[in-house]
Structure 1
């Protein structure tokens, strides 16, 4: 096959502008009105013979003010971004995830932390995977929607959602779960999704979790860890991740280190770069990072 021709400087400039425009539109949508599109609107478009997913894309483009009929520029943006960006997800498929099937959260509170369930409304948009980076330089966010209500576990901090187990966590942790082996260290506890998934692996001997939030540790130990079939593999250390990495990481031999200390890309870049410097001191240990592909798009 012939080599793909690289974009010209002018094309690269246009792609950067397109990336910026799409990110700006999505940021406003996801932060302020993720439930902007309703089921009745989708059903009305579907009656014209298109799929549910395509109907949602058409409606979202219109809500964004794009004219994909008469504007060649808007049509090109729609074709380049919306098709690989929007994904209709299967509720049943995610409900079969081992963590969702086997772990049940009581609605309890310790200190400022609260275990609960949140939900996505039908056709509510949310980030469902790492940013897709194309060979020509387009950065395409991955947005998921469910056709029905979807409940997911969450930790609230002072009433605000802080930690979750959503399809985004499931998808973006697939590789770090698959790669983990031997003695595993994870920075960040959350709801224990990563620890649960790797503890179930036969080639994982132990899982050490470093977490700074005592309330989250207590919630986990009292209400979640007892549900782990492989709870004997789990050790939890109350400590700051970077202090632990600087002073104690060299004391024990870990085969695999997974870092999940941030809420999203915006607060993750600085922490990611900080841990990458520490990684250089341990060339024999395999390090990985939550949403690393998305973070690298901003570096």
Structure 2
């Protein structure tokens, strides 16, 4: 197909499974085409084919750039036993299972209708046997679940909006139960940005490190050479109206930020 001048189509290098249109209780998987959307840190792109998971009128996940990019740092750095909180469309779980550094993936999901949906989808059938055997889905509460063996990476993704107050405290309580060696949570970059700005810190490597130290969480991501730039890009696109009370928003050079950034966009 012909793309509008200057508008790049979305191309992604990590595995994204095929999804059949399905319904389980209030949950539904369906498809769309030719969506114009911003990424988490990427500019507006054309997505030729989109899969969306909805519950009633609410979009809980999709294969849009904002969704994939906002989870990919955890996936790209995953190793050992990975615990994913929140099944959603199962993308981060299957993508992590494909990594040779990952030995097991445990997904904790409290909604039996979502688990039933995934029994029908059977995304693991699209994986090679060695990756398929790493996956395990358990029904449980992310705020109460305790592992039966050590966890190397905890990836919580249980929220509908991309930004929500109290998220750092929630992750801290989860980590108290799991005691993972490393943590990467959904929306992490925006939480770092809003807490750093509240403390009057620059959104650079030093400001990021100091803010993570305040979180008292073993977060991964900042060791990547382009992490600070991606964090600034994400904040520039998605933080309008989401700064903590008392914050003077930093000047971000990437142009006007996006409107409300959540899974309903």
Name the TM-score class by shorter chain: 0.5 to 0.7
Larger proportion of helix: 1
Paired residue for 1:145? 45
Counterpart-to-counterpart distance in 1, 2:139 and 2:180: 25
Deviation string 1:152-201 (CA, Å, 9 cap, x unpaired) is 11111114322212111222222211211111111111111101111011
1:77 corresponding residue in structure 2: none
- Would you say 1:212 and 2:126 are equivalent positions? no
State whether residues 27 and 53 of structure 2, in contact with CA within 8 Å, keep that contact through their aligned partners in structure 1.
yes
Question: Structure 1 length normalisation: TM-score?
Answer: 0.57
**Partner in structure 2 of residue 227 of structure 1:** 126
Could you tell me whether the CA contact under 8 Å between 1:261 and 1:271 is conserved in 2?
no
Match of residue 166 from structure 2: 270
Q: Helix, strand or coil for the counterpart of 1:151?
A: strand
Q: What SS does the aligned partner of 1:208 have?
A: strand
Q: Tell me which of 1, 4, 8 is aligned to 1:89.
A: 8
Map 1:167-206 → 2, pairs under 5 A = 167-206=65-104
* Matched pairs, number: 191
Whether the aligned pair in 2 keeps the contact of 1:265 and 1:295 (CA below 8 Å) is: no
**Measured at CA, do residues 262 and 290 of structure 1 come closer, stay the same or move farther in structure 2, by a change above 3 Å?**
same
Counterpart in 1 of 2:40? 129
Residues 107 and 278 of structure 1: CA distance in aligned 2, closer, same or farther (over 3 Å): closer
Alpha-carbon separation, structure 1, partners of 2:94 and 2:54: 20
Following TM superposition, where does structure 1 have runs of at least 4 consecutive aligned residues deviating by more than 4 angstroms?
280-284
Where structure 1 has 5 or more consecutive residues not aligned to the other structure, the ranges are 1-38, 44-51, 54-87, 131-141
- Tell me by how many angstroms 1:279 deviates: 2.8
Q: In the aligned structure 1, how far is the partner of 2:8 from the partner of 2:176?
A: 38
**For residues 11-39 of structure 1, what are the alpha-carbon distances to aligned partners after superposition, in whole Å with 9 as ceiling and x for unaligned?**
xxxxxxxxxxxxxxxxxxxxxxxxxxxx9
Q: 1:154, 1:163 within 8 Å by CA — same for their partners in 2?
A: yes
What root-mean-square deviation, in Å, do the aligned CA atoms of Structure 1 and Structure 2 show? 2.6
CA contact (8 A) 1:211 1:241 kept: yes
Following superposition, the deviation at residue 233 of structure 1 comes to 0.8
Matches within 5 A, 1:220-299: 220-223=118-121, 224-229=123-128, 230-244=131-145, 248-249=146-147, 251-267=148-164, 269-279=165-175, 285-299=181-195
Q: 1:183 to 1:97 in 2, by over 3 A?
A: closer
The superposition leaves residues 260-295 of structure 1 with CA deviations (integer Å, 9 ceiling, x where unpaired) of 11123333x323321124436766611111221112
1:45-102: CA deviation from partner (whole Å, max 9, x where unpaired): xxxxxxx44xxxxxxxxxxxxxxxxxxxxxxxxxxxxxxxxxx4333x23x6421xxx
Q: Where do 5+ consecutive residues of structure 2 fail to align?
A: 196-265
1:298 partner SS: helix
CA contact (8 A) 1:164 1:190 kept: no
**In 2, are the aligned partners of 1:184 and 1:256 still within 8 Å (CA)?**
yes
1:56 counterpart residue number: none
Alignment partners' CA distance in 2, 1:192 and 1:98: 12
Q: TM-score, normalised by structure 2?
A: 0.64
Is the Cα–Cα contact under 8 Å of residues 151 and 179 in structure 2 kept in the other structure? no
